[in-house]
Structure 1
Amino acid sequence: MKPPRAARPPRILYLSFYFPPSRASGVYRARATANHLVAKGWDVTVCASPLSFLHDVIGSVDEELARTVDPRIRVERPALNQFVWEKDLRKYSRFRARLPLLAHKLYQFGQRRVFPEHYWSWGRAAVARGLRLHTKQRFDVVLATGNPFASFAAAWLFNRLTGVPYVVDYRDSWTLDLFKDELAFPEGHLAFGWEKRVLRRASGAVFVNEALRKWHADRYPEAADRMLVVPNGWDADLTPPAGELGVDKEINSRPLRFGYLGTLTNSQPVEELAASWARARMHPELADAELNIHGHLGFFQTGRRELMQRLGLGLGADGAVVPLEEDGDIGIRYRGPVSKTEVASVYEQNDVLVFLAGGGRYVTSGKIFEYMAAGRPIVSVHAPGIAAKDVLDGYPLWFNADSLDVEAVANSMVEAGKAARDLTPEQRAAASDYAQAYTRDKLLEALDQRLWAIAGRERVAVDGSEPAR
């Protein structure tokens, strides 16, 4: 008698525009989600951005990060109309080259009346690609992550055409401006209609913190019972915990090193950081200390010079980043981009980690979880009441002025510097242990279980392990 055929794994279509080798901030949640799902027994297909957009428009990629994507994951790259980004007249379509004003008006009409986002053409293409794959082998569920929110609309449309249930993952907010704590669009804007339409049919909506979930639950109460919080976390495969690494015994015989790691943007209090650092260096403890900025300056190629100026930096004749004024050097050093696969070494090179964040009560920032896993003193430079406070409150090496007052932040920097010099292996291990509850795999477990239920499948054991209950 033949043994029964094993049931096929559930299939998921993951609509994630920013996916490796993209270096956008949300790419780490997307990478971890796809890797987690395939490890839990899912057959995962990702629809991501075209590589030409990452290379030619954004202008940078992280190929090392791309190599950390599980090879079992199928990655599709639907086309994107790059109308708004295309500046080379030689690459214009024949229609746009001959009738540029009409082409512009038609494009704007689509933004005002069809879908209010430049990525909508990618969303349509993702639906078309998904339908072709669906006819060959049915998808059980769709997961869409935003931004861009064309992925949400694509999930909705795919559901209307096929009946396949979908879940939307708000790693960002669509209609709420996180940095101003106000609506991102005027009431009556097309985006609100689309968001309501998407949430009405969604089988689930995921948010990165409780404040965002509650805001959306209050605005869309009919979908509140399908909302779930899945915080960001840190990637244990890329940032090993530092609990057993001990401390630098030479720290008291050298200048202190403060470090910021991440993408620097105009939404962050960069001037306050520079001013507070200058004030902190007036204290003998930090007189010769350095503040190292690791990462990209902005998400796009434009705007880099402005961010450097806000830090008090400029470009020298040889292209190197230098202080704007020699006598104004306050020890800020721009160290350049860092591959995600190298962040652990950056954390080890710095004694204090600087948590610089924009926005207010709805902002958590994925970077803070990595900071905690590093087991270093963390000094906050952000507005009071930020959502990240809910995570950091129990971290034993957190130094928070709860203000952007220059004097208050400078004092926190000095205290964090003293703590770094006095840090014991036991203190560092305790700090790192606190972060263990925030690994992405642990936090994504709730989403995985919800997706199995929505797909109407009984969760199976993978690699001989017991299925989660």
Structure 2
Amino acid sequence: MMKKVVMIAYYFPPAGVVGSFRVAKFVKYLRQFGWEPVVLTVREDCYSPAVWLDYELLNRNIPEDVHIYRTRTWYSKIVNDEGIKWLPFLLPKLVQVIRKEHPCLLYFTGGPFFPLIAAPLMKAFFGLPYVIDLRDPWRLAHRKTPPRGVKAYLGQLLARLAEPIVVKHAAKVVCATEQMCKEYREEYRYLPSQRFVTITNGYDPDDFSEVKPFRFADITVVYTGKFRTSEAFRDPLPFFKALRILRERGRKVHFVHVGNLEEEVMNLAKSVGVQDLVEFVGPRPYKEALAYAKGADVLLLIGGGQKSEQTSKIFDYIGCKRPILALTSRDTEIAKVLKEIPNVIVIENIVPEIIADAIEKMCFGRQKVEQTPNFDEKYHRRTLTGLLSKVFDEALKTEIKRKENARDR
């Protein structure tokens, strides 16, 4: 008999953002491990205009008979945080879903993080254990530029108050990187260390099997996704300067960015004088973005300065089987994953001349660059979902044992 889990996620297909993919793949494979997923998320029209809606992502990954509940969010020009705007509608809907579906476990993923506040409340009302999945750090986020203003201060204050409560009462806390897990174990060292587990992001070979590479006319470096995030700025300036150096050497290399248009980045390209070498194609459906990536001579990855960062595009890049240039420190989670595969150069995002040398070696080297071989099974989304199912099983056993001990007292 299937055990049932309600999965609460603000981002879920058709939202074509990184936050959607992790939970979507869990939903896709959970039934293979004895768990029936039920999803609670927001309506498609509640996402910001910047969120690309990719209905193929929904149809390709989510079984038709999976129960998906969607709610509206609170419209407010004063409150910016998506999670806070969802809470007034999430809470009553979650109560309704629990009473209808009778789950034995709740799963919450963030960010946004403030919906996680519902977890200890539901545990108090219904006695349901819950698992928290942190795709990024919440209170422990290392921002290069601390948020300023009253709203930012109140947000930080609420995070400092809420996160310890959410973590303390969680059956398990899943972190997307080992470094993040280490930091949370240290921060909450009064809790059992085994409460914190690592389940990385990964890739699904099904996503790549039917994707045909985009054909570029020139040697091309491709970058997919955001440069600016809430925690940091993945600075492309040294890379743009490297493109200029290569042109001065007689080496013409084009750059293509697939993702939301960022004026800040476009202006940087102009300031360096390489606007004729760069193309910003804007957001594209997931499969089309993969086609651009598969057609690249080199895939560019830029770190945001956090050791715990492990952007999910790493695994998409690996699945595309193309050479990767990673501009990041060697002590980051990004570098730790990439050192396991060939055809990768990892260098600091500092000196344009060194970056130019790396691009020249990868794009114009005499030796033909071999494609990245099939990656280790441990990063397959099905394998990672198997790990999550074990976390669910352990959470359930822990709660059963806790209730038995309470009865014996």
In which range does the TM-score fall when normalised by the shorter chain? 0.7 to 0.9
Q: How far did 1:181 drift?
A: 9.8
The DSSP-based 3-state class of the residue aligned with 1:260 is strand
Equivalent pair of 2:329/2:335 in contact (CA under 8 Å)? no
The one-character-per-residue Cα deviations of 1:137-179 (angstroms, maximum 9, x if unpaired) are 3111001000011231112211111010000000011112344
Structure 2 partner of 1:352: 298
Structure 2 partner of 1:44: 37
Equivalent pair of 1:14/1:144 in contact (CA under 8 Å)? yes
Structure 2 partner of 1:218: 186
Structure-1-length-normalised TM-score: 0.75
Is 1:423 matched with 2:371? no
Aligned counterparts of 1:26 and 1:154: Cα–Cα separation in 2: 19
Aligned pairs (5 A) from 1:164-179: 164-179=128-143
Is 1:291 matched with 2:249? no
Is 1:19 matched with 2:9? no
The DSSP-based 3-state class of the residue aligned with 2:206 is coil
Is 1:282 matched with 2:227? no
Q: How far did 1:435 drift?
A: 4.7
Aligned residue among 233, 250, 262 for 2:225: 262
Q: Which runs of 5+ in 2 are unaligned?
A: 399-409
Letter in 2 for 1:197: I
Aligned residue among 24, 30, 43 for 2:23: 30
Letter in 1 for 2:307: R
Is 1:441 matched with 2:382? yes
Is 1:450 matched with 2:391? yes
Structure 1 partner of 2:98: 134
Structure 2 partner of 1:229: 198
Equivalent pair of 1:257/1:351 in contact (CA under 8 Å)? yes
Equivalent pair of 1:278/1:330 in contact (CA under 8 Å)? no
The CA RMSD measured in Å over matched residues stands at: 3.1
Aligned counterparts of 2:218 and 2:156: Cα–Cα separation in 1: 55
Aligned counterparts of 1:52 and 1:64: Cα–Cα separation in 2: 17
Letter in 1 for 2:59: R
Structure-2-length-normalised TM-score: 0.85
Structure 1 443/423 Cα, relative in aligned 2: closer, same or farther at 3 Å? farther
Structure 1 partner of 2:110: 146
The DSSP-based 3-state class of the residue aligned with 1:380 is strand
Equivalent pair of 1:45/1:74 in contact (CA under 8 Å)? yes
Aligned residue among 363, 379, 399 for 2:325: 379
The one-character-per-residue Cα deviations of 1:368-401 (angstroms, maximum 9, x if unpaired) are 1111222211111235532211101122101122
The one-character-per-residue Cα deviations of 1:400-420 (angstroms, maximum 9, x if unpaired) are 22342111111111112135x
The DSSP-based 3-state class of the residue aligned with 1:432 is coil
Aligned residue among 398, 406, 410 for 2:344: 398
* Higher mean C-alpha deviation, range 63-72 or range 223-232: 63-72
Structure 1 136/76 Cα, relative in aligned 2: closer, same or farther at 3 Å? closer
Is 1:191 matched with 2:159? yes
Aligned counterparts of 1:275 and 1:168: Cα–Cα separation in 2: 42
Aligned counterparts of 2:247 and 2:105: Cα–Cα separation in 1: 54
Is 1:308 matched with 2:274? no
Letter in 1 for 2:351: D
Structure 2 partner of 1:318: none
Aligned counterparts of 1:415 and 1:234: Cα–Cα separation in 2: 28
Is 1:202 matched with 2:148? no
Aligned counterparts of 1:123 and 1:41: Cα–Cα separation in 2: 30
Structure 1 164/407 Cα, relative in aligned 2: closer, same or farther at 3 Å? same
Letter in 1 for 2:16: R
Q: Which runs of 5+ in 1 are unaligned?
A: 1-6, 85-103, 112-116, 298-303, 314-323, 458-469
Aligned counterparts of 2:358 and 2:118: Cα–Cα separation in 1: 46
Q: What is the identity percentage for the equivalent residue pairs of Structure 1 and Structure 2?
A: 21
Equivalent pair of 1:281/1:330 in contact (CA under 8 Å)? no
Q: How far did 1:62 drift?
A: 1.7
The DSSP-based 3-state class of the residue aligned with 2:34 is coil
Structure 2 partner of 1:273: 239
Is 1:63 matched with 2:27? no
Structure 1 344/358 Cα, relative in aligned 2: closer, same or farther at 3 Å? same
Equivalent pair of 1:232/1:366 in contact (CA under 8 Å)? yes
Equivalent pair of 1:200/1:222 in contact (CA under 8 Å)? no
Q: How many residues align?
A: 389
The one-character-per-residue Cα deviations of 1:56-110 (angstroms, maximum 9, x if unpaired) are 54453222212222213221112311213xxxxxxxxxxxxxxxxxxx6xx7xxx
Q: How far did 1:195 drift?
A: 0.7
Equivalent pair of 2:328/2:335 in contact (CA under 8 Å)? no
Q: How far did 1:47 drift?
A: 1.2
Structure 1 partner of 2:69: 76
The DSSP-based 3-state class of the residue aligned with 1:451 is helix
Aligned residue among 195, 208, 216 for 1:239: 208
Letter in 2 for 1:239: F
Structure 1 187/237 Cα, relative in aligned 2: closer, same or farther at 3 Å? closer
Letter in 2 for 1:14: M
Equivalent pair of 1:382/1:404 in contact (CA under 8 Å)? no
Equivalent pair of 1:277/1:330 in contact (CA under 8 Å)? no
Aligned residue among 66, 73, 89 for 1:125: 89
Aligned counterparts of 1:365 and 1:241: Cα–Cα separation in 2: 24
Structure 1 290/58 Cα, relative in aligned 2: closer, same or farther at 3 Å? closer
Letter in 2 for 1:264: F
